[in-house]
Structure 1
């Protein structure tokens, strides 16, 4: 009887099920070129039945026959209601493409929401893209407690950041081989020494995600071999929001000092510019003090941001996002600083250095997005950044073993304030004229101003060199620049534009297209101007000095007594052009046309064949203490590229990329201008010329689950006529730039793993628990030939003698490792906890090539460890705690010992210090 009842029940259940129909389909994302939209919410209106789209944007719901309304929603996007009727055993297909909207979702139960800033969304985009691409989004940036873009980029595979500078190295290739864009449009440099904008001036508060292309894309400029870093600014898509936050930070080294010192002049907020005084040569007319000023080394931060969206007409949406922030911080470093090391491993300069540092960053951004309708969108983005660095350095010891304080006791002090102001203006548009034709365009106008106002330097030596530790100090008169004030003003204005038209062809039965034609034009016009004036105090009377009262010597009374006179490199007050600044200026014009064909040969094979041609003008004019003249150059570059993807299955891809690119020298590297630092001078080389680069990548990637990836990439670089820094034979061992040999080669392997170790969800309470692990490892082999004869032949009057016939690339670590483990717990009532432990490692790398029998300058390996904790009390209040650089490693640079007549000389430490541990506490409130 029971068996009969069970069989009867089963029969009716199957019969009932057989009468059901199924509604299924694919949801696409209009904002991301109609890519599949994962985790969209599909709800049957008036019921509790629903589903979420999978990683491929697909969904399926079983329903009894009847009339229904399908509600499709996604946080920050439109809500679409589609009425339909379904019959017994019918399979109803409903596809839809969602568009961004400022209207909150209504009548939809939000099962799961995902932002485009999330790791999972970026991995989904990476999986679907034909190109080899990598991104780090706002979610990952937040988890790792990253405050600036440079640190964020350095968390990705194959990329490291040079300690003590803003330079990043991609697969061993430094600043000159990389490029930086914002929303696809180029950015100017903020430093005469570099090609790219310092990424650490960009706060991650304004970032939606950072795209890192290590393979050449035909839409990017061809001055590329390492990576293009594209900063994608936030675009607000939701309802009204206001958020305010503040924080405090401290560096363990800085707060351990009894007193913390900075120079006089720059203010707390960093909006300072101390101009050259009127008539500076005929009297002492300076208003700022030479004496150091005490400061309290506790940093702070404050930000205010908000956004809202508004309906415009029946189809339009206007979205506004505003952000304003201020951050500052203090650091202290002390340790060895040596220079001019000889073949016998003897340092000409031997100091103990103390460095007090203070940085500020002020950011303001306004972003306006106007969606005219589903086919037309215009975006305006403007940003102002004011970034400053203030450094007060004190050097004690041997200034020069031949002339100044040869037995120690010398004192050299330099105070430098550097300020960069950047104004970015961008207008971008996207227009869909039909399901086949799309037009994208962008225009930008950027203005950059880099100032070093009133850099101060003093040099003092013992009165009695035989008793350096007990003798009083007197003002040094060895060199007229030993005591000086320096003023630098650099501007870099740039206009750029991108225009791309695409046409789809090869329509298939399911209304998709196999191919696409792309044609476009891009251009950029850069105008750069660099002025520098150094006021040197020529010492006529070496008086005893009190280092705590330098104003007691450098004043109007001492000037009247002829203790010193003031002059520039061009002469004193009687020279007619004495105050004419040393200058170089130039223009760079790049005009490019490009085209490509994208085609899907099979359901699994996708290919992009691209071509780009660029006409490049780089003219430079200079008037310096060394030389007056000009250098004009123009070249035509033809740059083919090939990209392919083979989908092994739904979770695995094999991707390939090959291209030809080039590398331009920078203006500073070509201008015969002498840049002087403590212990080292740099001079430009007007005969420098471009390198040619050939690039190849092969990548396998596997996406086991949402938010997870395993990938391996093999890559190769071949560079003809590479550019390197080299020491030239001169009285001061100046460093210049040369095309150092015929070729350089880089071969490497990168691996990346992101894995969810624990992922749980309580469907009743909505609580979630996740424990994730990330690891990326890069191994790199590089070699380049070094040809002294080639350098001397191409640069008359320059004498460069390399120690070795071949070498690794400068800046290239053999091994790079980044890893993190993150725990996330979401509680009821909008409470959540995130804790992340992140570490990094890079092996030894060459800083500068060895010359005249000496070995290379090498930066030693470094291990770092950071801990970040964030707690959301509720939907309004959140707290954060971070502890960075917990290992506090010694940062060390060594001059490798030479083989001196069969005797191996020892290595010499030329730079050594610890950065200290950094701690911060933050709070935010959302309205």
Structure 2
């Protein structure tokens, strides 16, 4: 038996040796003919009629082993012409085949949406994630299109551990909200469009301008240190094909809005989203307000239109100029009704309303970019982006108002129009000096203008004796018109140089040293004027029509003394103001070193000099005051990547960062909403953050992923929004305790369930990600009283972070059918998202925390190509139409303080490519 086994083993060795002796190799370099023969990573290279194949590496290189003989090499990439190259393999030798491929006559949709150059393809981004040293997640234009995502705010919620605050573009990363996150575009910072927010609303960015979105949840020294949750980097379109022109038109409805017979908006603002309503001349002595207080009825059907085009020009032997532009407009109507309450710890009403909200939003986007590549090693590009967004809201609150309408007979009508204009200008350069030395730079000048012209609010109560409504006259602010403007300019510069060292025997470098400088300089000017209408005593019982208040508030009644107009300064029209200035100078260094063939480390150190000054002159501090601070921050970071094999990675990251307070949070300015009032805190100071991540990744195929992450954060002196112990229950921003921590796990899987077909394609794929976390922070009322002038009594001594859900889920199932001959296709995607309960605001004065209840949403997206030019798309979103609820967790029971449904959103769109 032993002899038989030995004989078989020897025979096997001979066969194996003989077989290997009949083998040879083919290797080479694949380059991009459209980009001056730049190396192309992730290109599919296969030997025809076999299963032998692989993708090119980051340097465009490949190597395959096959039997000796004649073969055909197939080189393919989405958006490029497939090339077949006959060749011969000789035993024990390597055949070299280098090939440049181009886009050629491939259909335009593939070039624009899926080409390697624009890095919008899901597979390409996933492979880049596999090969990168950094820990990050990317979501590209192809995936956004498949999931029917139309704005960046919704886009980022499709990634692990991220949710969006209801009714806004504010996101939470791993339970950390606006103050802990940052936003950049092409690596350069962009300003906020909201005086209450650090980050710009991501909802104003149409995905038409996006190549891909990069989400960094792990800090590196090349990033600004004001970071704890994550950084969202919007990478703009970078056109590199020959030419394209595309036109799109669509229509959409909200089922709540179209079912409302009387959809009413305030008069005055333009439906285009471009309006100008300056403070009238001499408003204290002459009634000269332009906008009417009579609402107008509109038909709530909305739509969108867009045009996109690009062209490339060869200049000289190596030069190439790429131009791309897009312009679009979209609008939308929404309607919701439900309850909106404010109660104390004993559940007694402070305000209790049945609320109706009629909303109309617009977004106009224009983008132009130009990229000029001198040669393979030198490129400069210019990006211009203009976004005009508007929001028009007509709110009606009916019910209980303490001291005014305690028989549930109150009515507040509030009309708010907001217009934001963002302009982004960026100039970027990338230069490869030689094989060792690279130099990159970028500079930007951005400007944001935010206007809230002529917000109107009127408070009334129903007088049964008069069988009609009377004006509330408790305070002059019960009836007012309000003007607010914000202007912020920001200049930024990034400069970095990288030097590779220690070349090994395979001509690869083991190390890289990167040194750089970042500068960020911004100034904000904010002013607000409120005109309060003081109703004369003899007019307090006058019956008025709440839907025709122009009949009372007009020039004739003003001249007759029925009412007077004043500001918080009496007869002085000077606005309340606050101004902010913030300058950051930063130097950083990174050392990347390959400790072994499988283990790579990146050690970073960043030094920042921070200056922030806020000055104000407001109704609660009319003397004019300013507060400033300067800080030096030293921020180390460490990253380790262990490549188990070419399909598996283990990564570890650790860092220190900080969190700055914002201008509005430190200015003694009061902002009044219907159910809450916010005031700044001059004593607010930065938090310190310590971050740790451990991640495992497995890539079964190029377009598949399984990953598991464990993370932790420790925050010193965390900042929260809390209610002050005051007669008006103002909300302010406070360092509420000594420390807080967050721990969690994340899981993600992308998998092809099946893929069939040779000529035509049938593919079913699924994606799922989940995040589970626990957050906890200390709450110390005595600490707050010692550090500020504010008297607060926090209900609890510990709580979770505001905005943090324990559980987040995202899942999608997509089916793709392609007909190659007719160039037609059909893709259907079902997407589901869920977040569990999360704290909206911390409880004070024995009141419980305000908690946003769990919500799950389901969307259906269908995208089709009828032929190579014509496309038809359909989307049905929020199919489950869950109830949006907020409760106050009082000792006796939970009290619902907010409740409504959003309705379904249906859209139909048509695209045509010339």
Taking structure 2 as the reference length, what is the TM-score of the superposition?
0.92
What is the aligned residue count? 882
2:447 corresponds to? 447
Please report how far the alpha carbon of residue 119 of structure 1 lies from its aligned counterpart in structure 2 after TM superposition.
1.2
Please report how far the alpha carbon of residue 54 of structure 1 lies from its aligned counterpart in structure 2 after TM superposition.
2.1
- Whole-angstrom CA distance in 2 between matches of 1:409 and 1:71: 77
> Cα deviation per residue 1:398-443 (whole Å; 9 max; x = unaligned)?
122xx10111111100000011000000111110000110011111
Please report how far the alpha carbon of residue 50 of structure 1 lies from its aligned counterpart in structure 2 after TM superposition.
12
Please report how far the alpha carbon of residue 80 of structure 1 lies from its aligned counterpart in structure 2 after TM superposition.
11
Residue pair 1:74, 1:105 contacting (<8 A) in 2 also: no
1:566 corresponds to? 565
User: Which of 277, 282, 292 is the matching residue for 1:279?
Assistant: 282
Structure 1 residue 292 corresponds to structure 2 residue 285: no
Please report how far the alpha carbon of residue 497 of structure 1 lies from its aligned counterpart in structure 2 after TM superposition.
0.7
In 2 relative to 1, CA 252–32 (structure 1 residues): closer, same or farther, beyond 3 Å?
farther
User: Which of 300, 320, 323 is the matching residue for 1:320?
Assistant: 323
Residue pair 2:181, 2:199 contacting (<8 A) in 1 also: yes
Residue pair 1:783, 1:807 contacting (<8 A) in 2 also: yes
Residue pair 2:810, 2:831 contacting (<8 A) in 1 also: yes
- Whole-angstrom CA distance in 2 between matches of 1:669 and 1:356: 29
Please report how far the alpha carbon of residue 77 of structure 1 lies from its aligned counterpart in structure 2 after TM superposition.
7.7
Residue pair 1:25, 1:60 contacting (<8 A) in 2 also: no
Counterpart mapping for 1:913-924 below 5 A: 913-924=900-911
User: Which of 772, 777, 782 is the matching residue for 2:775?
Assistant: 782
1:926 corresponds to? 913
User: Which of 727, 743, 746 is the matching residue for 2:739?
Assistant: 743
In 2 relative to 1, CA 472–823 (structure 1 residues): closer, same or farther, beyond 3 Å?
same
In 2 relative to 1, CA 15–842 (structure 1 residues): closer, same or farther, beyond 3 Å?
closer
Match of 1:406, SS state, is strand
Residue pair 1:77, 1:237 contacting (<8 A) in 2 also: no
Match of 1:409, SS state, is strand
2:184 corresponds to? 181
1:7 corresponds to? none
Structure 1 residue 433 corresponds to structure 2 residue 433: yes
Residue pair 2:25, 2:63 contacting (<8 A) in 1 also: no
- Whole-angstrom CA distance in 2 between matches of 1:863 and 1:71: 45
Residue pair 2:340, 2:353 contacting (<8 A) in 1 also: yes
> Cα deviation per residue 1:182-203 (whole Å; 9 max; x = unaligned)?
0000010000110001000000
1:588 corresponds to? 582
User: Which of 806, 821, 838 is the matching residue for 1:814?
Assistant: 806
- Whole-angstrom CA distance in 2 between matches of 1:79 and 1:591: 49
- Whole-angstrom CA distance in 2 between matches of 1:664 and 1:830: 52
In 2 relative to 1, CA 220–727 (structure 1 residues): closer, same or farther, beyond 3 Å?
same
- Whole-angstrom CA distance in 2 between matches of 1:751 and 1:43: 36
2:269 corresponds to? 266
Counterpart mapping for 1:178-577 below 5 A: 178-339=181-342, 341-400=343-402, 403-464=403-464, 471-540=467-536, 541-542=539-540, 543-572=542-571
1:6 corresponds to? none
Q: Name the Cα RMSD after superposition.
A: 2.7
User: Which of 599, 602, 611 is the matching residue for 1:605?
Assistant: 599
In 2 relative to 1, CA 606–716 (structure 1 residues): closer, same or farther, beyond 3 Å?
same
Structure 2 residues without counterparts, runs of 5 or longer: 1-16
1:620 corresponds to? 614
Please report how far the alpha carbon of residue 88 of structure 1 lies from its aligned counterpart in structure 2 after TM superposition.
6.0
Please report how far the alpha carbon of residue 114 of structure 1 lies from its aligned counterpart in structure 2 after TM superposition.
5.4
- Whole-angstrom CA distance in 2 between matches of 1:522 and 1:83: 51
In 2 relative to 1, CA 318–52 (structure 1 residues): closer, same or farther, beyond 3 Å?
farther
User: Which of 822, 845, 853 is the matching residue for 1:852?
Assistant: 845
Deviates more, 1:322-331 or 1:822-831: 822-831
> Cα deviation per residue 1:85-129 (whole Å; 9 max; x = unaligned)?
976642134568x79x787689xxx9x985421111111011111
Match of 1:140, SS state, is helix
Match of 2:506, SS state, is coil
- Whole-angstrom CA distance in 2 between matches of 1:768 and 1:103: 22
> Cα deviation per residue 1:603-657 (whole Å; 9 max; x = unaligned)?
1001000010100000111111111200111100000000110011111110011
Please report how far the alpha carbon of residue 391 of structure 1 lies from its aligned counterpart in structure 2 after TM superposition.
0.5
Match of 2:478, SS state, is coil
Please report how far the alpha carbon of residue 130 of structure 1 lies from its aligned counterpart in structure 2 after TM superposition.
1.4
In 2 relative to 1, CA 81–756 (structure 1 residues): closer, same or farther, beyond 3 Å?
closer
In 2 relative to 1, CA 312–809 (structure 1 residues): closer, same or farther, beyond 3 Å?
same
> Cα deviation per residue 1:187-246 (whole Å; 9 max; x = unaligned)?
100001100010000000111110000000211100000000000011011111100010
Residue pair 1:640, 1:659 contacting (<8 A) in 2 also: yes
1:60 corresponds to? 64
1:138 corresponds to? 141
Residue pair 2:30, 2:43 contacting (<8 A) in 1 also: no
Deviates more, 1:115-124 or 1:354-363: 115-124
Please report how far the alpha carbon of residue 17 of structure 1 lies from its aligned counterpart in structure 2 after TM superposition.
11
- Whole-angstrom CA distance in 2 between matches of 1:136 and 1:922: 22
- Whole-angstrom CA distance in 2 between matches of 1:264 and 1:382: 33
In 2 relative to 1, CA 519–836 (structure 1 residues): closer, same or farther, beyond 3 Å?
same
Residue pair 1:604, 1:648 contacting (<8 A) in 2 also: yes
- Whole-angstrom CA distance in 1 between matches of 2:636 and 2:217: 16
Counterpart mapping for 1:150-165 below 5 A: 150-165=153-168
Please report how far the alpha carbon of residue 65 of structure 1 lies from its aligned counterpart in structure 2 after TM superposition.
8.3
> Cα deviation per residue 1:53-80 (whole Å; 9 max; x = unaligned)?
42645243769889x9999775678999
Deviates more, 1:669-678 or 1:78-87: 78-87
Residue pair 2:36, 2:376 contacting (<8 A) in 1 also: no
Structure 1 residue 836 corresponds to structure 2 residue 832: no
1:827 corresponds to? 819
- Whole-angstrom CA distance in 2 between matches of 1:127 and 1:29: 22
Deviates more, 1:113-122 or 1:200-209: 113-122
Structure 1 residue 23 corresponds to structure 2 residue 26: yes
Residue pair 2:459, 2:472 contacting (<8 A) in 1 also: yes
In 2 relative to 1, CA 844–28 (structure 1 residues): closer, same or farther, beyond 3 Å?
farther
Match of 2:499, SS state, is strand
- Whole-angstrom CA distance in 2 between matches of 1:35 and 1:782: 46
Match of 2:476, SS state, is coil
Residue pair 1:23, 1:63 contacting (<8 A) in 2 also: no
> Cα deviation per residue 1:783-829 (whole Å; 9 max; x = unaligned)?
00000000000002x11110111111110001101101010111131
In 2 relative to 1, CA 81–832 (structure 1 residues): closer, same or farther, beyond 3 Å?
closer
- Whole-angstrom CA distance in 1 between matches of 2:311 and 2:367: 15
User: Which of 858, 863, 866 is the matching residue for 2:856?
Assistant: 863
> Cα deviation per residue 1:351-401 (whole Å; 9 max; x = unaligned)?
10000000000000001111110000111110100011110000111122x
- Whole-angstrom CA distance in 1 between matches of 2:682 and 2:312: 53
- Whole-angstrom CA distance in 2 between matches of 1:316 and 1:639: 41
1:633 corresponds to? 629
User: Which of 764, 786, 794 is the matching residue for 1:802?
Assistant: 794
Match of 1:791, SS state, is helix
Structure 1 residue 893 corresponds to structure 2 residue 886: yes
- Whole-angstrom CA distance in 1 between matches of 2:36 and 2:354: 55
In 2 relative to 1, CA 589–568 (structure 1 residues): closer, same or farther, beyond 3 Å?
same
> Cα deviation per residue 1:674-693 (whole Å; 9 max; x = unaligned)?
00000110000001000000
In 2 relative to 1, CA 603–61 (structure 1 residues): closer, same or farther, beyond 3 Å?
closer
In 2 relative to 1, CA 113–688 (structure 1 residues): closer, same or farther, beyond 3 Å?
closer
